[in-house]
């Protein structure tokens, strides 16, 4: 466990724990407020993210930004990360050993950020954070509380690009996140 952001980021820059490092252009560490109350966790970088070294900057990220704007969420006030820090070839789902190689980095990010709410974007984030027994279709929209953190599983924004009908659920789930955030602010 790294005590500082600098130590953590330096360790990731030199990572070669799995085969994803072989074709990466950039590590996609994460971005946003390092003291955010809300954290978003996705699957892994796509082509645009790999090129820029930033999470959710492609089409799925643009869709997420529109949802943020509509709900009054400022992107620089949340923290955004992924299960894996390097792009899987052809944007495939990260394999179990690849996700496992990165999970300690992500856990360290969670420890450093100390979010109250974590939004799990899609099945890969859900299964790697809460457990393989969870399914996104049955879990999305339902709060799970563990160790003082509230988790909201929802669709990955890329799924919305493939199926417009999921946008309603995604919007509803993010409205729940804002409501929970406001509730937690009142109880401070």
% residues pLDDT > 70 (the chain): 99
User: Model-level pTM?
Assistant: 0.97
Tell me yes or no: is domain 5-186 CATH 3.40.470.10: yes
Burial 74-111 (b: 16+ CB within 10 A, else e): ebeebbbbbbbbbbbeeeebbeeebbebbeebbebbbe
Listed in sequence order, the residues at least 6 apart from 68 whose beta carbon sits closer than 8 Å to its beta carbon are 74, 75, 78
Q: What does the pLDDT look like over 103-157, one tens digit per residue?
A: 999 999 999 999 999 999 999 999 999 999 999 999 999 999 999 999 999 999 9
Pairing state between β 79-82 and 149-154: unpaired
């Amino acid at each position: 466990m790294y005590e500082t952001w600098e130590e953590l980021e330096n360790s990731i820059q030199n990572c070669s724990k799995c085969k994803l490092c072989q074709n990466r252009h950039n590590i996609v560490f994460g971005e946003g407020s390092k003291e955010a109350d809300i954290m978003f966790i996705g699957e892994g970088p796509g082509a645009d993210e790999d090129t820029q070294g930033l999470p959710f900057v492609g089409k799925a990220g643009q869709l997420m930004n529109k949802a943020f704007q509509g709900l009054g969420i400022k992107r620089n006030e949340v923290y955004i990360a992924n299960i894996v820090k390097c792009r899987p070839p052809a944007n495939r789902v990260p394999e179990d050993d690849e996700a496992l190689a990165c999970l300690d980095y992500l856990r360290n990010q969670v420890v450093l950020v100390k979010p109250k709410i974590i939004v799990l974007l899609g099945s890969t984030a859900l299964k790697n954070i809460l457990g393989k027994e969870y399914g996104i279709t049955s879990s999305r929209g339902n709060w799970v509380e563990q160790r003082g953190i509230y988790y909201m599983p929802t669709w990955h924004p890329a799924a919305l690009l493939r199926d417009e009908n999921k946008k309603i659920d995604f919007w509803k789930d993010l409205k729940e996140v804002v409501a929970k955030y406001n509730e937690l602010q009142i109880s401070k």
